Chain A
Amino acid sequence: MTDMSLFYELDVTNGSVCGPGSRVRAFWSTTHAAPMTPKTMTTDAETSNHEEIDRRWASWMTAAQAGDRAAYETLLRDCIPFIKRVARGQGIRPDLIDDVVQETLLTVHQALQTYDPNRSFTAWLRTIAQRRGIDGWRRVARTGTREVHSPIVYENHSDPGGNPEEAAIEVDQTETSNSALHTLSAGQRQAVEHLALQSQSLAQAAAATGRSTVALRVDWHRALRKLRSQLGGKD
């Protein structure tokens, strides 16, 4: 990762849309027209460093336009700290900075064909990042008018289906019913299945099972009696 802290500070404090190219040179030449001192020598070195970084990014971008994946991924990774710094300079909340980074990277990908190698890549990227930062602001403002973030209310909301005692009773009852059903004979289970669970009439159940209605009725009554005795009901 390139160390570009001075570069970023210069970009943010300058506050312009221009890159580290001619306009930055003009900025420095107009504000630092004093005779050469150690400080001006340092700023000249910084400016040339910025130009070098911009040239490197521009060459990676040109390679990316030709389809060079390695150059493209290196460029995008190298740009992330720069985009974060631009977003911070716009006052974006820290938890939303990564959103701005990702939106900016997606925009760079979609706008790949619009980059002109004769122009500053840094200026191109900064404008996109600033625009996506503004979009982030708008999104936060829109969400703030429609939604309320209140995690305590959510935590305290009672869940009627979430009572563990009721759930345990329900499981217990299901197990009891299943074990009672298993004690029935095959004919009795068939009668319960068709007449009770599928809510069929005697005639429908007889047609479905191929048994007589009398046999089904007998099995049905016997099954009910056995279930009542096992589940604690009264005759």
Chain B
Amino acid sequence: MIRSDANDHLVQALGANLTPVRRLAPPGLRLLMWLAILGAAALAIWMVSDVGVMIRRLSAAPDTMRLAVTGCMLTAVLAAAAAFQLSLPDRRATWALLPLPASLLWIGASGMGCLRAWFSPGSYPMPPSQTEHCLIFIVGVSLPLSLVLIIMLRRGFSLRPNLTAIIGGLACASAAATLLNFIHPYDAAATDLAVHSLAVVIVILANMIFGGRILMRKNGLTSR
């Protein structure tokens, strides 16, 4: 009876604290908004990069490289879609598996391209001195994209903040890796693949640590 009274008091307190809320936009619409921001970033990089070189390189590139770029782009879109779904409390955790096929395509095609570059005499792999530029680009571009994404995810209410932040980090890292193709006129190589993987892991970890905490604090959670 005492606890039932506590429930009733809580209901009254919540009722007294009620304010009209603006209903959250559907996850598809929020995804389109984030993709529009990503498109603006792509346009800015397009303006300062040599687009002709990129188009010639992609048209002359082997299938594995085109597949890797496609997989990377699809990973960004699907991971962002999954993150927006996970930011809602009634969605299943299995949404986190949505970007998995595209990620496997991205990793598999990059690995195959790496092997091709290893054995092909005509390939033009990236010089080792340039690898740090890739790392800085992916991490640097991911940072503002992550910030925007976390702010958008924060409008929702995720019951799994860490998982949501990790998938959001994957979306930002793969989006940055996609944009890297504008300024990256090299065939895939082992060092290239390793540096890209390292950058993606850094971005995902940073999102998990900082983004996860931001989402937890918003949800009044202490750990998850």
Query: Which residues of chain A have a CB within 8 Å of any CB of chain B?
Result: 17, 64-67, 69-70, 72-73, 76-77, 80, 98, 101-102, 105-107, 109-116, 119, 123-124, 127-128, 131
Are A113 and B90 closer than 8 Å at their CB atoms?
no
- Asked if B16 contacts A69 (CB within 8 A), the reply is yes
- Collect the chain B residues with CB atoms within 8 Å of residue A113's CB: 21-24, 155, 157
A110 contacts B220, CB within 8 Å? yes
**Known A-B contacts A76-B15, A116-B23; A106 and B157 likewise in contact (beta carbons under 8 Å):** no
Total A-B pairs in contact (CB under 8 Å)?
A: 87
Chain A residues, Cβ within 8 Å of B26: 116
Instruction: Tell me the minimal C-beta distance from A154 to chain B in angstroms.
Output: 22
Tell which of B3-11, B65-73, B119-127 binds the partner: B3-11
Looking at chain B's contact residues, is the secondary structure mostly helix, strand, loop, or mixed? loop
Which 6 residue pairs of A and B lie closest in terms of their CB atoms, listed nearest first?
A67-B20, A111-B157, A73-B15, A98-B3, A113-B21, A124-B90
Are B14's CB and A114's CB within 8 A?
no
Closest to A70 in B: B15
Q: How far is the CB of B157 from chain A (nearest CB, A)?
A: 4
**9 other A-B residue contacts (CB within 8 Å) besides A77-B11, A127-B90, A128-B159:** A66-B20, A70-B15, A73-B12, A76-B14, A107-B157, A113-B155, A114-B157, A128-B89, A131-B159
The residues of A that contact B12 with a CB separation of less than 8 Å are 73
Proximity string of chain B (148-161) to chain A, C-beta cutoff 8 Å, 1 when within and 0 when not? 00000001110100
Closest chain B residue to A134 by CB distance? B159
Output the least CB separation between A82 and chain B (Å): 13
On whether the beta carbons of B15 and A114 are closer than 8 Å, the reply is no
Chain B residue at minimal CB-CB distance from A108: B14
Taking a contact as CB atoms under 8 Å apart, the answer to whether A102 and B18 are in contact is no
Q: Report if A114-B159 is in contact (Cβ < 8 Å); known contacts: A69-B15, A72-B14, A80-B7.
A: no
Contacts of A107 in B (CB 8 A): 89, 157, 159, 219
B92 within 8 A of A: yes
Task: Answer yes or no: B88 CB below 8 A from chain A CBs.
Answer: yes
Tell whether, in the assembled complex, residue A109 and residue B14 are in contact, meaning their CB atoms are under 8 Å apart: yes
With both beta carbons as reference points, the residue of chain B lying nearest to A68 in the complex is identified as B18
Give the CA-CA distance A110 to B156 in the complex, in Å.
Answer: 10
Q: Considering the chains assembled together, what is the distance between the CA atoms of A47 and B169 in angstroms? A: 42
Q: Is B129 an interface residue (CB 8 A)?
A: no
Given contacts A67-B18, A67-B19, A113-B21, contact A127 B89 (CB under 8 A): yes
CB closest residue in chain B, given A95? B3
Residues of A within 8 A of B15 (CB): 69-70, 72-73, 76
Complex alpha-carbon distance, A231 and B58, angstroms:
106
Instruction: Give the chain A neighbours of B14 by CB distance below 8 A.
Output: 72-73, 76, 105-106, 109
